[in-house]
Chains A and B, each alone.
Chain A
Amino acid sequence: MENTALQNVWLIPLLPLIGAAIAGFFGARFLRSKSHLPIWITVGASAVLSVMVLVNLYGMAHEAKPGEPIGITKNVFTWIAAGDATTAVTGAASDYLHVNVGYFIDPLTAVMLCVVCGIGFLITVFAAGYMKGEAGYWRFFAYLGLFIFMMTNLVMGENLLMLYLGWEGVGLCSYLLIGYYYEKPSARDAAAKAFIVNRVGDFGFALGIMLCFAAFGTVSYFGDGVHSNTGLIELFTKPMSEMTATQQIAVTWVPFLLMLGAFGKSAQFPLYVWLPDAMEGPTPVSALIHAATMVTAGVYMIARCGTMFFHNIGGEPYSAPLVTIAVVGAFTALFAATIAMRQFDLKKVFAYSTVSQLGYMFVAAAVLAPVAAVFHLVTHAFFKALLFLSSGVVMHAMDGELDMRKMSGLKRVLPKTRWLMLAGCAALAGFPVVTSGFYSKDEIIAVAWERNTILAGVLLLTSFLTAYYTFRLYFRVFHGPFVIPSQPATDLIPSEADAHLSPGHASAGHGGPVAANQHGHEVAHGAGHGGPHHNHEPWIMMAPLYILAIGAIVVGPWLYWTGALEHFLGRSPSFAWAYAKAQPVFGDVNAHAFGVEHMMTTGQAVAIDTEHAAETKQLHLYLMIASGVIALAGIGIAFLLHKKDRAQAESLANKFRPIASLLDHKYWIDELYDAAIVRPLWAVGKVYNVIDAWVIDGAVWFATIVPRAAGVGLRLTLQKGYLQGYAAGMLFGVVVILVAIFVF
């Protein structure tokens, strides 16, 4: 049954680590501009292995009996074995902590692995072109390999501690890569901000893990296979009456603590502030870490630990954690979308849009529809990576300029990027029928509607704003009169062989219809290689984009119409347990949203079919039409205000000056945090600094007076410069010590 990829699943994280080590240790001296090769090879191999694991699990899911979840634990070695093993009791608090470095492979992990390694590989390919010639090229790729290692550990780990290891590891890589241009103060500040804001969330996460251990004596999801074969996912489904007092506390508080970690890592309100600043990092990093993979870790955590987030307390459903997640998610989605409407930096727009889309995923997870959350995670990874990388191409061509007020009509110089960006924008905006984003977003809105119409309403409003700000960007950058940023002074002497575009050149050489023809010619030949003239769209950067674009268009409809993802994910033990627990707690739970129809007996399935299905299908169809119309309306308004008549957009903004100003300043949240948290802490720090400098250092200095005085005395009396004198002193000391030993 198991193929070699599944048996050697530990290779998936290990290979990128080896690649990172090679790039890190040999990059600076030997590999230099070939530092991307170890990362390409190892991440590529991991991607192939991930796909093999996915295919193998899919085959197993196909052959498995109905209702049979699929999950394989592969323990590599014992990481921690502390305390008295004989006291260990399955599923109860004990003095024994056992943690394996082990991997748990189920459909959820397989899907995440393909996203991480697959998209990760495409982005490393792109990065080789994008980062060409940067100082510290090897450093960039070493960090990238380390990131893939940590992220694969995060999604593959069989226990919460492995999740935490990966979680902190990707946080570290994120910090290092945001601060990649460490000579820029803004990059350093952004890196520190990301790290510190994440500390707040991770503090909660760490407490949550500790509480899990304190209450249940294990941190494994499904049992570590050593002293217990029951893991947290199952233990959390125990009825309240069978639980100890600590376990009852854990059931109440663990969801909130884990949630805090998820909000930090996945940039939800109020901990979202680091993500927009994280755009200081190189664009491939923004695509990989801050859009496609790392920031979705929170969603993965909630999908994985589904049973931990609700309970049955005294016959009443305890759904406060889910309600909190739903409200925070929906609020963040709307909030971030409104900010994105008035941003002028390409990457900032996409950063806020990422925050907003992650809000959708949290809502999906909170309304007990983890399949929809993962579905959106997958499609979002494709189209957001595409959008970031496309803006990377724009940034590359514009010499680092990203302000959309300074550029316009770029379809003339970047014809291929324009189409790619259009594909990405359409997917993000949820352009009806032909894009991935439409299907995944619609799934979420539909399940949210079943729970709460206000929630769904907020999401629909958000998707309108999303369509607007996405196409505002597209129309401003690629349509309209041809404008490119003025040439920076440092670039006055561009060499002809320079692979980068110097904008001054472009306006002189490519500015007119001649340029369009030239490029048309190039497209016709499919030439990606640099000809005699500057080429801003080299094949090494474009090839990954084409694959991502196909993903952004095809993956969603394909998964939606075949239902492949849903049936596959339903085999995940996490989803099966979550459904089995939710069903009695909430009464009517949508089995479809867990992908677990296979778990029900035929009779149940039929009953649900006849009662609900027709109704649900009808509702779903209406919502689909509604969200399609809303997306088109958003696009239409963007077309009117940013393609046809841009002056009107400004006059409209002036008419609603207070609102526009509020959005321009991002609701003054950064200023608020600065005044409410940063400055008070700074003041406290100053006080401590004074205490340190005067009280502590003063005491230390005072304590040194005695030895100093003794030293001065000895120098004046005994230190005469006679070697024999010193030897006699040593002898005397030895004698004193010996006497002391023998006499006392």
Chain B
Amino acid sequence: MSQLALQHYLAVGAIMFAIGLIGFMTRRNLIVMFLCTELMFQGVGINLIAFGHFHGNLSGQAFVIFLLVIAAAEASLALGLIVLLFRQRNTLDADAWRELKG
């Protein structure tokens, strides 16, 4: 079994990012779209950790710790907003809010 190389990690990160991106582009459900953004987020996080490990310093890992904390905070906020939006329109469809374009 060959050693896991940097490329493998980057490939996983890229695949996660791509899945997230495609999901975000194709779905209309607010919660699913939000999940997809999280997926992109984590894909980037994997990249950071992989590079940090590859260069032998800890700043990548440290950065990801921060990233996770922010993501957690942001998730609670976003989910709260989605709940509020749902209460207004009784639907999770993003297109229900088109008139916000002004």
Contacts and interface: CB of A to CB of B under 8 A. Distances in A.
Interface string A727-744: 110010000000000000
Interface stretch (A345-353, A402-410, A452-460, A715-723): A715-723
A728 B98 CA distance: 16
Nearest to B100: A721
A728 B25 contact: yes
Contacts of A727: 24-25
A720 B98 contact: yes
A719 B101 contact: yes
Contacts of B99: 721
B98 A731 contact: no
A723 B32 CA distance: 13
B25 A721 contact: no
A721 B33 contact: no
A724 interface: yes
Nearest to A731: B21
Contacts of A719: 101
Interface string B84-102: 0000000000110111110
Contacts, number: 24
B25 A724 contact: yes
Contacts of A722: 94-95, 98
Contact of A721 (B21, B26, B98): B98
Nearest to B27: A724
A720 B99 CA distance: 9
A728 B25 CA distance: 7
Contacts of B28: 724
Contacts of A728: 25
Interface residues of A, number: 9
Interface string B44-61: 000000000000000000
Given A728-B25, A731-B21, A723 B101 contact: no
Main secondary structure, interface of B, reads helix
Contacts of A720: 98, 101
B81 to A, nearest CB: 13
Interface string B22-44: 00111010000100000000000
Nearest to A724: B25
A719 B102 CA distance: 9
A214 B28 CA distance: 72
A724 B101 contact: no
Nearest to A720: B101
Nearest to A719: B101
Interface in B60-97: 94-95, 97
A723 B27 CA distance: 10
B33 A723 contact: yes
Contacts of B94: 722-724
Contacts of A724: 24-26, 28, 94
Of the candidates A722, A723, A731, the one having the most CB atoms from chain B within 10 angstroms of its own CB is A723
A718 to B, nearest CB: 10
B100 to A, nearest CB: 7
A728 B24 CA distance: 10
Contacts of A721: 95, 97-101
Nearest to B94: A723
A738 to B, nearest CB: 13
Nearest to B99: A721
Contacts of B24: 724, 727
Nearest to A726: B101
Contacts of B101: 719-721
Contacts of B97: 721
Nearest to B33: A723
Nearest to B95: A722
A734 to B, nearest CB: 10
B94 to A, nearest CB: 5
Contacts of B25: 724, 727-728, 731
Interface in A671-724: 719-724
B30 to A, nearest CB: 9
A509 to B, nearest CB: 71
A147 to B, nearest CB: 47
Contacts of A723: 33, 94
A729 to B, nearest CB: 11
Nearest to B25: A724
B77 to A, nearest CB: 17
B92 to A, nearest CB: 12
B40 to A, nearest CB: 10
A228 B9 CA distance: 62
A234 B24 CA distance: 78
A719 B21 CA distance: 20
A722 B97 CA distance: 9
A720 B97 CA distance: 11
A723 B97 CA distance: 9
A490 B100 CA distance: 58
Nearest to B101: A721
Contacts of B33: 723
A728 B99 CA distance: 19
Nearest to B21: A731
A722 B94 CA distance: 8
B41 to A, nearest CB: 14
B21 to A, nearest CB: 7
Contacts of A731: 21, 25
A427 B6 CA distance: 90
B55 to A, nearest CB: 22
Contacts of B95: 721-722
Contacts of B26: 724
A82 to B, nearest CB: 34
A615 B20 CA distance: 105
A432 B64 CA distance: 86
A724 B95 CA distance: 10
A720 B94 CA distance: 13
A721 B98 CA distance: 4
B91 to A, nearest CB: 14
A97 B33 CA distance: 61
Nearest to B30: A723
A711 to B, nearest CB: 12
A723 B30 CA distance: 10
A186 B94 CA distance: 62
B23 to A, nearest CB: 11
A376 B9 CA distance: 84
Interface of B: 21, 24-26, 28, 33, 94-95, 97-101
Please name the 10 residue pairs, one residue from A and one from B, whose CB atoms are nearest each other, closest first.
A721-B98, A721-B101, A723-B94, A719-B101, A724-B25, A727-B24, A727-B25, A728-B25, A722-B95, A721-B100
Given A721-B95, A723-B94, A724-B94, 9 more contacts: A720-B101, A721-B99, A721-B100, A724-B25, A724-B26, A727-B24, A727-B25, A731-B21, A731-B25
9 contacts: A720-B98, A721-B100, A722-B94, A722-B98, A724-B25, A724-B26, A724-B28, A724-B94, A731-B21
